[in-house]
Structure 1
């Protein structure tokens, strides 16, 4: 029963992270490429709803009440405060505590990273949960750094958009990692060879490897899948950005098309007579130009 709840929580968290990250990148790309396009901005108003931004937080709320680690008695004190802290942030007015807003957006991610590191240390080294939580802590740290940079950068600038892109990338990879760890740790068909789930665990379900060679092989497989997740997330981020650029009429060089036909403004061409007149102003070329005109 505990394994089913943990698997369902992982799947829900994965979907929430991917949806929130890609929607955040979509709104950031539209704001960066087409800030004056009011029609597109109004269509994306639903993606800026506070409830959509709170999806990952709401999906992670059940984790403190699940038997995630042997230190489950301390788990609510580790995870609940970081999860409850960002709940009122999307509903605050933009001018409310502007100097503290970047810190309040990044502090929950930093606290969650610290909690994930503590939970990872609570598992034995032979359990795959320790490696899964350590990678989750690194992803949370990357998301916290990107969130802090995005909040401190001036809006609608290249640095702000790059930070938003990094934040969406970290969130997408985190969602894929949550999906993979849920399947690897709590589904028998996906458990690495040489490892097994402890069904009779008294405190928390665990996936333990019998020998160190099996643990290293399982960690290598998980790291390989993490690399695949990074490639998939990068392709999704690049495809979404290119799609928004195409819809907004921006080419690869950053130039904006004039109309529906996709034409660009042509550069003014200099006629041959105008070129000859300009060349006549040069003292060294007067004789050459005069001879060429006389021969014609």
Structure 2
């Protein structure tokens, strides 16, 4: 085997190993959080997100919602009517009192939506009635751009893992761009905690899921438009974005490292045999 052929073999094998390595497109992630309360009250108190781990990379460069415009929201007339409302854990802190009757076009109500979403307390959420319909535009603190980290750009949590939510990118002028996609929280991974909020009578499991800009058909966005339809079973959610960053270094998977080491040994032995033959 010629040295040139060995090099080609190594390159092809390395490429094959990379293609067989764990995918960087996985939408699941690990929420690293701290609970303010313990025991049975843990699900009722503050649950503060410290960082997220995905694909072996831990980061905390969060990009929070800073403004919200309620375009549509079913009217609240008492009981289980209406659609989107602010909600929190029974014993959790919150930026405002929770409110059922959020009105479309009301800037003050939009600011409350932004406040409940725009922090790292995973027990501050937007609750939606089962057949409620809404459309809300959200803007982030800064523009989000596609990068080469292999990480998701948008991160969602949904209480109950039993609802859907449609999302679409917004540009700086609040114009929808790209492609709308519908998230189904029944397919979400487990977030590792439960919450018990004022809108429900006990603990519910929380699911989590990440979305890349490519899935929305864009390379950058300033915000997202959220839509719930009557058939979506009332999504109860929290979300944030990741600020764009330079690709961090990642330690290779142990299986990949071992395989590359084996290839190096094979190549060395082949070269040694070639040298002996030539002598």
**TM-score bucket (shorter structure):** under 0.3
TM value normalised by structure 1: 0.22
Structure having the larger proportion of residues in strand: 2
TM value normalised by structure 2: 0.23
Structure having the larger proportion of residues in helix: 1
